[in-house]
Structure 1
Amino acid sequence: MSSDPSMRVSPATLTRTYKDAINALNTLQSNFASIEATKKLGPNVDKNKLSINEVYEYTRRLGYKPADFNRLNLIHVTGTKGKGSTCAFTESILQQYRNTSTSNSNSITKIGLFTSPHLKTVRERLRINGSPIDETKFAKYFFEVWDTLSTTESDPEEFPTLQPSSQVKPMYFKYLTILSFHVFMSEGVDTAIYEVGVGGTYDSTNIIDQPTVCAISSLGIDHTFMLGTTIESITWNKTGIFKKGSPAFISSQREYPQAIGIAQERAKELGVSSLTVVNANDILPQSVKLGLAGDFQRENAALAVEIAATHLKKLGVLSDVNLKELPEKFLTGLANTKWDGRCQVINDESKQIEWFIDGAHTLESINVGSTWFKDVSSKKSGTRVLLFNQQNRENATDLLAKLYKISVESEGGAPFDHVIFTTNVTWSSGYNADLVSLNTSKEQVDKLIIQKELSEAWKNLEQDIGRTTPSHIFADIESGVKFVDSIEGPVQVFVCGSLHLVGGLLVVFDGKEE
């Protein structure tokens, strides 16, 4: 099959809309055919290995070989927390070196960024030169992939889970990963930054053949059902993005220093050209301004500096970078970085409401986000409100307990005057199409089971201080926002627990109900 994207355009593509694409994409969240095919496999089949092999196969059916993607000049970033912010810092720095002229072969003209999850629109996952691709292009490329996978075949013996080939499609994240490669190749991207979804070794993004640089942000205990329950097993999986001959960087790992030794062993095993431990204090003076709030972002920014410097030297854009005295373009990139939903403050002056928003959803990130809120709100007066949800993790109450300990019990903390628990449903009328979630239990959402458990858990936490804060449960984010709007200001609202909650909140703020 030709790798020329123009050869794969179906005439029907021109008549199908972005909404059609989103409706088709949402069917892949609970892709019945794919799930049923996987169920038929025996217990001795390595499903993780099979899953990554399917990505190779799907891209082959699109006409690509892994080596084809090397012309994207790929940067690969994983971690437990901070990997998205690291990618955002890296993108912002590299934007300062983007050259719109193609006359110089040693230049960057188009920067692609693939991240997850999205907040308001799925197009956020596929950015070019800092902006999500538009709806028309998304629909065009989406159906090019869809139609090609619907009309090509896989060897039934080698890929039993892909049978029948015309019906079985990649699951949601896997499809978007495959789509991203097609989009970036078709659009002529010459620098692509890829954030790993989960883990590393078996993640859908890990078909990258020869990255210019790999990096690991802060590690922690998360996705244990896939990565194991120890920092050792998680580090082993994350370091799976290391590639022979490519340089690698890892943050200093203050919480789990033993991860450094494991990463060093894996670096030797996998043949990286070098592995460097990045300490923020060695690279970023306290005076350096960052576009993202929170002192912890210095670690992510320092990692991004190393990534960008290595990438620019690899491409010949810069002959060298003095990390002891950062170039002005690096400083500008760090200061201009934007990454919504992470330690973000939105001030609604007309209603005297300050929204402190962070998508923290792991114990480590809850620790960081809660500390940030405590620090920035401690000198403010007014009514304090918590808006929280975590629909997908079994340890939702543990996350809430960590938040309570830092925001309320620790020195400088203060009680909330109201606590609100909602689902991730956007509006009282239902989800926005881009935010539909079929991977959660509809019964749990409809019956507010987790929200009631969280409310009860909060009451139990407050028993020790003899306080009973009014607890409110709402079936959707819109209703929670309306309640906050009814409180007399000034009001400080801490929103956390889920990026899906944060994304829905930002959509409600936009007021564009479908």
Structure 2
Amino acid sequence: MRDFAISDSPAVQQQLDRLAALSLPQGRIGLAPVRELLSRLGEPHLSLPPVFHIAGTNGKGSTSAFLRAMLEAGGLRVHQFTSPHLVRYNERIRLAGLLISDADLANVLREVLDMGEDIGASFFEITTAAAFLAFTRTPADACVIEVGLGGRFDATNVIEHPACCAIASLGMDHERFLLAPEDGAPTHPLARIAFEKAGIIKPASPVVTQAYPPEAQSEIERAAMIAGAPLHMRGADWDATAADFIAYRDRHGELALPLPTLPGAFQSLNASLAVAMIRHQDRISVTSEAMAQGIRAAHWPARLQWLGAGPLTAGGAKLLLDGGHNPDAARVIADYLAGLGEPVHAVVAMLAAKDAKGYLEPLAPHLASLTAIPVPDGHEGHQPAPLAAIATDLRIASRHAETLNEALANLPTGEPVLIGGSLYLAGEVLRANGELPD
């Protein structure tokens, strides 16, 4: 199994094979390894242009896409670090607007892996250090950096003076890691999630958030107070509603902004969070016209994405792809499916650590059938037959198949099909249909 991507470039593949051979942290937590690695590399994280740092359970990727598009519409060169990749590892690192080239990627990974050989750094720590090092070698005006997992102990959390931090929507995901018992941490599950995400808050740097239930809100308020960080929460310091357009308002005034072209009503809130980030910091200036242009231009693959022409859609197949894999993501998908006006078929694969029942419950009223398949590339996932049985218990007509192609071949031609439950599956679908993220 090649867990961390396959590249057509032999030079990149050589470094990806080295990454894949790294041991997992085995319960180790803390930022010491990545700090040591960055120290050996000359502290590249301290030489970045203004950083916008984004955490959250759902929506942080879309928010980062909106933010980058707005900054670029304002004429700025933007570095971006996101995770995970869907098809190519290069997707994680964007230099001044462009995906990192194979030559640059191979070189920077080799340098970081050689430098950290004796540290025992993890895949994500190496990846983060490589991104920061690459960022210092290409001029840019801003950095958009997405947290990988959690926030408090995420490798990206070495950033010291961000222009602005943001926390997107909160929900239950990665419970095995984020809810592990720890002295001094909240015991309420959502409060604990908020506690972990709020770990990115830095002294004197503004932090912008969505609105949350009281138990989560109190944790973020506490973290901001301890850090001495200006806190701007939706519903208190800024707000936005969407109908025919986004009506955004904060202490600076009101804006009328276009609705996103990204599908899903929730994307208006993600776009508004990006607007709030820009308007609550003072290191980068972006006009309202550029914000509007960015909202229209933003693209984020595998989020309610209708596949275009390609091998999988030949013959009239209508395929909707979404990589969401937790109950909150499923509720967003369900809202979108409700607007289609007809039940859809689903092809679903899920990692074993994910809450399959919690994911399927919101979708059940909108599904004509479900076909369960294995997670691609040998990842530990729910077996298709038991996953189909969970769907059957939810009164979904269910079956299972061994491959994506087998599942699609057994569905009615021309009827809409949702493919979801796993980002690994989403990556396989995009590759198979020839729609590589760029």
Is the 1:52–1:203 Cα contact (8 Å) retained in structure 2? yes
Secondary structure of the corresponding residue to residue 57 of structure 1: helix
CA shift in 2, pair 1:279/1:248, >3 Å: same
Structure 2 residue runs without a partner (length 5+)? 1-8, 180-187, 242-246, 250-254
- Separation in 1, partners of 2:95, 2:337: 32
Which position in structure 1 is the counterpart of 2:16? 22
The amino acid that maps onto 1:243 is K
- Separation in 1, partners of 2:353, 2:388: 16
CA shift in 2, pair 1:119/1:367, >3 Å: same
Is the 2:389–2:398 Cα contact (8 Å) retained in structure 1? no
Deviation at 1:487, TM superposition (A): 4.4
2:148 is the counterpart of 1:197:
yes
Larger radius of gyration: 1
Which position in structure 1 is the counterpart of 2:34? 55
1:183 equivalent among 134, 137, 142: 134
CA shift in 2, pair 1:53/1:369, >3 Å: same
Which position in structure 1 is the counterpart of 2:5? none
Deviation at 1:366, TM superposition (A): 0.9
Matches within 5 A, 1:268-287: 268-277=225-234, 278-281=238-241, 283=248
Which position in structure 1 is the counterpart of 2:185? none
2:298 equivalent among 315, 337, 340: 337
Structure 1 residue runs without a partner (length 5+)? 1-14, 39-46, 99-107, 151-164, 322-326, 426-430, 432-436, 463-467
The amino acid that maps onto 2:305 is Q
- Separation in 2, partners of 1:419, 1:263: 39
Which position in structure 2 is the counterpart of 1:93? 70
- Separation in 1, partners of 2:415, 2:202: 49
Is the 2:85–2:92 Cα contact (8 Å) retained in structure 1? yes
Secondary structure of the corresponding residue to residue 15 of structure 2: helix
Is the 1:124–1:131 Cα contact (8 Å) retained in structure 2? no
2:199 equivalent among 229, 240, 257: 240
Matches within 5 A, 1:345-424: 345-348=306-309, 350-376=314-340, 378-379=341-342, 384-404=344-364, 408=365, 413=366, 415-416=367-368, 418-424=369-375
- Separation in 2, partners of 1:511, 1:125: 17
Which position in structure 1 is the counterpart of 2:170? 219
- Separation in 2, partners of 1:211, 1:249: 12
Is the 1:419–1:469 Cα contact (8 Å) retained in structure 2? yes
- Separation in 2, partners of 1:345, 1:396: 23
After TM superposition, the score normalised by the length of structure 1 is 0.73
Which position in structure 1 is the counterpart of 2:59? 82
Which position in structure 2 is the counterpart of 1:119? 86
Which position in structure 1 is the counterpart of 2:190? 231
Is the 1:420–1:480 Cα contact (8 Å) retained in structure 2? no
Which position in structure 1 is the counterpart of 2:125? 174
Which position in structure 2 is the counterpart of 1:460? 393
Is the 1:357–1:496 Cα contact (8 Å) retained in structure 2? yes
CA shift in 2, pair 1:62/1:210, >3 Å: same
Deviation at 1:24, TM superposition (A): 1.6
2:247 is the counterpart of 1:290:
no
Is the 2:49–2:142 Cα contact (8 Å) retained in structure 1? yes
Query: Which piece of structure 1 moves more, 334-343 or 360-369?
Result: 360-369
- Separation in 1, partners of 2:57, 2:106: 31
Deviation at 1:403, TM superposition (A): 2.3
CA shift in 2, pair 1:470/1:390, >3 Å: closer
Secondary structure of the corresponding residue to residue 157 of structure 2: coil
- Separation in 1, partners of 2:58, 2:314: 34
Query: Which piece of structure 1 moves more, 174-183 or 341-350?
Result: 341-350
2:277 is the counterpart of 1:307:
yes
Q: How many residues align?
A: 404
Which position in structure 2 is the counterpart of 1:471? 399
The amino acid that maps onto 2:360 is L
* Higher-helix-fraction structure: 1
Secondary structure of the corresponding residue to residue 166 of structure 2: strand
Deviation at 1:215, TM superposition (A): 0.5
2:230 is the counterpart of 1:265:
no
CA shift in 2, pair 1:309/1:128, >3 Å: farther
Matches within 5 A, 1:131-210: 131-150=98-117, 165=118, 168-210=119-161
- Aligned-residue sequence identity (percent) comes to 25
- Separation in 1, partners of 2:321, 2:390: 22
Secondary structure of the corresponding residue to residue 352 of structure 1: coil
Is the 1:346–1:354 Cα contact (8 Å) retained in structure 2? yes
The amino acid that maps onto 1:341 is A
Secondary structure of the corresponding residue to residue 133 of structure 2: helix
- Separation in 2, partners of 1:259, 1:469: 37
- Separation in 2, partners of 1:343, 1:148: 40
- Separation in 1, partners of 2:392, 2:194: 36
Is the 2:167–2:209 Cα contact (8 Å) retained in structure 1? yes
- Separation in 1, partners of 2:166, 2:128: 19
Deviation at 1:214, TM superposition (A): 0.4
CA shift in 2, pair 1:199/1:57, >3 Å: same
CA shift in 2, pair 1:488/1:366, >3 Å: closer
